[in-house]
Amino acid sequence: MLDYNRRMPAFRLRDADWARDREALRAVRLAVFVREQCVPERLEWDASDAVSTHVLAEDEAGVPIGTGRLLPDGHIGRMAVLAQWRGQGIGDAMLSWLVAQARHRDMRQLRLHAQTHALAFYVRHGFTCVGEEFMEAGIAHRSMRRDI
């Protein structure tokens, strides 16, 4: 039986600045990409962090639980939600936030490299696959894009 009175966990999204919020952003990405998915840490950090627009999801206590970034060229990346928070709408909210940021910046097209297990998530948000599957950091990906 479904409990329609079940309270959904509260979270909030906010702009994050790499210089100011680096530790919060790093905490989520370390947990998801480096520890959970075994991405070598040397591949996780790059110069794009400093020039990207970041979104940070936090729980009611202000603890970081999700993040994503939008590069100046319209590339979305580093979308990550802590395992215990998945399925709560956080990824949907963050991606919608990043698309809105791109619109605000008059970007016409968004691109991303989606892990193949997450393709349906991005398709729900209007992205389409482009090209063949490829490996990135030892994980199968597909390029995707969306006109806005």
- The answer to whether the predicted template modeling score (pTM) of the entire model surpasses 0.75 is yes
Domain range summary for the chain, segments of one domain joined by +: 11-107
Sign of the dihedral through C-alpha 138, 139, 140, 144: negative
Residue 35 is predicted with a pLDDT of 97
What is the reported pLDDT for 98? 98
Measured at the CA of 32, the angle between CA 110 and CA 13, to 5 degrees, comes to: 60
Cβ atoms of 73 and 47 within 8 Å: the answer is no
For the segment 2-26, what is each residue's pLDDT rounded down to a tens digit?
A: 344 445 678 999 999 999 999 999 9
Label residue 131 left, alpha or beta by phi (over 0 means left) and psi (-120 to 50 means alpha).
Answer: left
**Does the pLDDT value for residue 1 go beyond 90?**
no
Question: Following DSSP, what letter does each residue of 56-109 receive, concatenated?
Answer: EEEETT--EEEEEEE-TTSEEEEEEE-GGGTTSSHHHHHHHHHHHHHHHTT--E
What CATH number does the domain located at 11-107 have? 3.40.630.30
